[in-house]
Each structure stands twice: as C-alpha cells, then as structure tokens.
Amino acid sequence: MAKTFQAVLGMGLLLLGVVGLFAMPASCARYPVVPPKAGAPTWLRGAYHVHTTRSDGEGTVAEVARAAKEAGLDFVVLTDHNDFKPPAPVWVEGVLLVPGVEISTSAGHLAAFGMTQPLKGMQAWMPPGDAVKAVAAAGGTAVLAHPVQERNPWTDDASTREVPGFELYSADTFFRQVASHPVSRLLPTVGAYLGNPGHGVMTMVSPEPGPMERFLELSRERPRLAFCAHDAHGIPSYSAVFESMAMYLPSELLPKPLPRDAVEAAAQVARALASGGALCAFRGLGEPAGFLLEGIHPERREARVGDVLRVHVPGSPEEGTVEVRVWGDGRTGADGRSVELTGAGVVQVEVWARGPGRFIGTEWRPWIVPSPVRVLPRGPGI
C-alpha cells in the first residue's frame, strides 16, 4: 500500500512539474503579435457558436454576455443545442445577443442563425435534409458544425451540398485534438493555460488538413461561407476563447454603431455574417481591421483565371512574422503579398502569423480567415 501511494504521489508530482514547466514561459508570452497602426479602424466583432446553460454550456446567458463585454465583443450568436424557441434578440451588458440554434440531426450537427420565421417541425435527431430545409424555409443561414470532426462529423453527402456555411476552424475541435494527446499536447496546454489563459487557447490552434480539403471540394460546387466557431461551452473559459478569436464585420459591410433596437441590430448582424464579406481572425495575433483582398468582385467574391489579387495586411508586422497562404486554384506571388489565379474553381487566401510556441520559440498559426473566392474561366474578350 505504501509503495502504491508513493508511486501515485510521485506521478502526481511529476505531472505538476510538467504543467509548471509550461506555465512559466506562458506567463511571458506576448500578444498581439502584430500591433495595430495608430488610428487604425475598428470593426464590429463577435462570437459565433456559443452555448449557455440553456443546453450544455457552463455559463448563464448573463455570464456569457459579461465575458463578451470584458473581451471587447459587440455581439454573440447563441447556438444552444436544439433550442428551437430561443429568446428574442436582446442587449445585455452592452453586448447584442443574437438567437441561433445547433440542431442535432441523425447525420451530425447543424448550426443556424438569422431565422425570420419560426422553425417548423423541428425535433432532435431529425433527418439532416429536413433540418436544412427547415432552416432555409425560416429564412435562416445553415452552417455545418465541425463537419469533419472525429467525434461529431457531418455524414450525409446530399444535404452537405445544400448548406452554405462551413466551420473551417473550430475551437472545440482544437480542444478535442489536444485532449486526444494527453502527454504531448494536453499537459503543455494545461500548463500554458494556467500561466496565461489566452496563450493556452492559442497553443491549441493547430489546423489539420481535413477541414480545408473538404471545404475546397464543396466550394468548387457553389459559393461557401467560412466560419471560425468558438463552440464555447465555458471550458476553456468564455473570456479566454472570446479574447483569442472572433468573427469580424468590416465597416464597409456593417458600420458602427449597431442600432439600439435589438431586433433590427440582430437582423443586420445575421445578414452581414451570411453575406460572404465577414471574416474570422485569431485576435490573439492581432486585429484584422485594414485587411483587404483587392481584385475580386466585392459582393460576389469572384475573379477570373489569370487575375492577380493583392493582399493588404493590416497592422505593423515585423519582418518574417506574417505570410500569405493559398489553397486551391491559386499561388502566392514572389512578393509574398499577391495571389495569381491559376485555374477555374476556388481559392482560399489566408494570412498566417508566427505566434508564441507552446514552450519556447514560435509556431505558425492562422490569423485572418476570409471566405473563399470563386475563380471563373476567362471568356472571350475578357
């Protein structure tokens, strides 16, 4: 018995030592990586895909609003599971709460927001195609929630092709990826989180190729909307997740301030999120205001084969801390800030930045994530 106790105690002390080893450098991690320029504009920013105690979240609606206010957010899209009659839009703590829902279907989870009519015939574990049709009939925007996640993927191919939105990056998925590697990733992340919660969340941001591959495949068929989902449940804390990432609405899409009428404000936010002009930023790395992808049709997000897009990177990045990355039918130019469109289809252009590493050094992470650009063939006379 004594030997067993000593072994358990020794293992516990070892684990505490490992956690402490990562907590110390985390307290020295410095954000943002890219500081804003003086007088830089500010864009509306908010959290998308958030759970409260109305389903499986740890925080009440009021607690979520308070965390959002502390994180400097303007709005939160609440998506409690199977909450088919969510509360009306409301301002709480100066934060706009936008009603939405995450629907559990027999093929996976479907997030939805912006409904102008009640959802009809809804029930948990309904067929996926019926859920997609119900959201469309209610005037809402459907989004595939963590569609290629190992635990809860979307498995129905036919309905997949009818859904406009796709969660390209998901904080919940990152968390589950970390948890699946308890020694190599979870312990370092716990240590980093204890030393600096925001840094702990950022160390989890490690995209895998599966979501991007599926996203590009679907986007070649029809325009798609890229979302970064907080999928926040309160663990990690709402405030840490809200401070690390946000969905942004550029001022030309929806200027500040929002109307004080909560219903009208929520409708404007929902339309902006569904427009294709919204973007995500991992705000721990920096604010995205000033980012511009020049050379595309602003409403339709289209360009043609042979066009060259220009990427305007915001802030004041140091040399070697920021790079443009391209997936799909395009390639980065020699200057590192242009993108040549090489074939008809779709191109995803993102800005990545070097953030503090899990222990020492730096790691590349996504910073600014817009929706993709459709690349059209070059016709006669064009």
Indicate the pLDDT class of residue 380, thresholds 50, 70 and 90: low
Measured between alpha carbons, how far is 180 from 178 in angstroms, rounded to an integer? 5
154 conformational bin, left if phi > 0, alpha if psi -120 to 50, beta if neither: beta
For tokens 């716990």, the residue is 190
Indicate the pLDDT class of residue 114, thresholds 50, 70 and 90: very high
Structure tokens at 91: 């301002």
- 10-50 tens-digit pLDDT: 444 334 444 555 555 556 788 999 999 888 889 999 999 99
- Residue 315 has a pLDDT of 92
- 249-292 tens-digit pLDDT: 999 999 999 999 999 999 999 999 999 999 999 999 999 999 99
- Residue 256 has a pLDDT of 93
- 289-347 tens-digit pLDDT: 999 999 998 888 999 999 999 999 999 999 999 999 999 999 999 999 999 999 999 99
DSSP state for residue 343 in the 8-state scheme: S
Q: Comparing 106-110, 318-322, 370-374, which segment has the lowest mean pLDDT?
A: 318-322
Average pLDDT rounded to a whole number, residues 164-173: 96
Measured between alpha carbons, how far is 81 from 90 in angstroms, rounded to an integer? 19
- Residue 382 has a pLDDT of 56
pLDDT(185) > 50 = yes
State in words which class domain 25-280 has: alpha beta
Average pLDDT rounded to a whole number, residues 360-371: 94
- Residue 76 has a pLDDT of 98
**pTM, whole model, 2 decimals?**
0.93
- Cis check: omega of the bond before 118, within 30 degrees of 0: no
